[in-house]
Amino acid sequence: IVHHANYLQYFEAGRVAWLKAHGVDLSPASGVQLPVVDAHVRYRKPARFDDAIEVATWLAEIKGASMTFAYAVWRGDELLCEGETRLACVGPGLTPQRIPEALRVQLETAPATS
């Protein structure tokens, strides 16, 4: 059985893929970092070693200085796990900042799910 903490890694992989697919620059040179500040996971069924899984990822909410992504982990038509992570927007020095307008527009105009 897959260890419960691995689902957070699946969420991260889905989130990073979603952001990259929508052209979001995740490099330190962008001046914006998006650390996870809150995570919730609901386990439904266990995944097993060598299972082929799919992680559906979507942007659920955008606020002034944070955003929430939601996830569903599937094995075929079986829902294994679902959850959310909230990311804060921080600048150099890890100080909180509002989401820059260009990034906000990029996020708000992206298709809902990947």
Q: Give the tens place of pLDDT for each residue, 17-65.
A: 999 999 999 888 888 999 999 999 999 999 999 999 999 999 999 999 9
What letter would DSSP give residue 94?
A: G
Beta carbons within 8 Å of 26's beta carbon, 6+ residues apart: 16, 19, 20, 34
Domains of the chain (ranges; CATH) run: 6-108 (3.10.129.10)
What dihedral angle (degrees, nearest 10) is formed by the CA atoms of 103, 104, 110, 112? 130
Q: How confident is the model at residue 92 (pLDDT cuts 50, 70, 90)?
A: confident
Cα torsion angle, 86, 46, 4, 17, sign: negative
